[in-house]
Amino acid sequence: MTKKLEGAGLRGQVAGETSLSTVGQLEGLAYRGHKIEVLAEKATFEEVAYLLLYNKLPNVDELSEYKSLLKSQRDLPNELKEVLQKIPASAHPMDVMRTGTSMLGNLEPEGSFDNQLNSINRMIATMPSIVTYWYKFSHEGLDIDLKNDEDTMAGHFMHILHGKEPSELHKKVMDVSLILYAEHEFNASTFTARVCASTMSDIHSCVVAAIGSLRGPLHGGANEKAMELIENWTSRDEAKSKIIDMLSKKEKIMGFGHAVYSIRDPRNDVIKEYAKELSRLAENDTLYQVAEEVEKVMADEKKMFANADFFHAPAYFYMGIPTKLFTPIFVMSRVSGWTAHCMEQRANNRIIRPSAEFIGIESADWVDIADRT
């Protein structure tokens, strides 16, 4: 019999090794040794993706070449566009991401693992295009152009979503968001990707598996749920009374607490400041005020802290991003971390096959079918 694990959901259990990120209360969050706060301030998402995939920060020429590569690969094959056109507006956006990735893998299979970086960079380049093309076609009847002069994913996404060049602030905030979400050690979707990679499956299958895991409400979607919570309240006082009432009924408040962090989520500190800056420039800052009041009440009443998802909701709102696209933005970013983990798994692979603690009947007697009750 196997040794029983302490804690449900493998909490606290070491399931493998990685050089990609550190996640913890004391060490905070760092990608290959670079603190997330510094990366959010100084880097672009492209630099972070390069760091994760190539194990170094790019120099000027390498970054320019990498941006040009991604820019050249943003457009989608016509066959993929046709598939996206057939997906109804009622579809879950994560299902769209899953289907789009799978179709891309059919049209442009990875083949040999020697091609993994080509397939990975193609997915990174096309993720914003996939979900935005579907959204604009299914919701607005627009067959949008996916080519523009934006040199970053952040700018590209905001441009194709709104049909115009985004402001420098909006590009910066989106860049920061993509950086904050890019990598987070052995979370559920990343571990799913690594399990798939450990079977020596193709890279598209690994990402499809990860998207399926992220689709679950206990892993992804907290920023959408946070938005659904706070968008209906019109003042700090109303927010306070409603949250206290929800807590008295033991209702779950999304966007608070974390499986690893116990005191604070370092990503929240970063995105909260940008949400505040965006609110100051908006005609109405009520949503930010409501969010801040909810954060205060949760700290006072439950000693719980806001995680990275909570203040992403007002930040995205002030940039005019539809709520149903919140979690797909996570995919646009995290595909860099997922695939970096897949590469790491492949480089020193052993199939991931844990044991289970058996809790069933130890021995059962056979009963012929005629004698069964």
Q: Assign residue 349 a region: left if phi > 0, alpha if psi is -120 to 50, beta otherwise?
A: beta
Q: What is the pLDDT of residue 188?
A: 93
Q: What is the rounded CA–CA span in Å between residue 289 and residue 162? A: 26
Say what the pLDDT of residue 219 is: 86
As given in the structure block, the two tokens for residue 359 are 């809790």
Taking alpha carbons only, the member of 298, 206, 293 closest to residue 254 is 298
Which residues form the catalytic set?
A: 219, 258, 309
Residues of the chain with pLDDT under 70: 1-12, 25-26
pLDDT tens column, 190-233: 999 999 999 999 999 999 999 999 998 888 888 899 999 999 99
In terms of DSSP bridges, do strands 34-35 and 28-31 run parallel, antiparallel, or are they unpaired? antiparallel
Angle at 272 between CA 267 and CA 278, to 5 degrees: 135
Tell me if the pTM is above 0.85. Answer: yes
Spatial contact of 104 and 123, defined as CB atoms under 8 Å apart: yes
Q: What is the pLDDT of residue 3?
A: 46
Contact criterion met (CB below 8 Å) for 269 and 303: no
DSSP string computed for 312-350: HHHHHHHTT--GGGHHHHHHHHHHHHHHHHHHHHHHT--
Amino acid at 106: N
Asked whether the beta carbons of 28 and 40 are under 8 A apart, the reply is: no
Q: Which residues contact residue 233 at a Cβ distance below 8 angstroms, ignoring those fewer than 6 apart?
A: 239, 242, 290
CA dihedral 260, 262, 265, 269 (to 10 degrees): -170
Note the pLDDT of residue 1. 37
How big is the CA angle at 59 (ends 56 and 60), to the nearest 5 degrees?
Answer: 150
CA angle 280/281/282 to nearest 5° reads 95
pLDDT of residue 7: 56
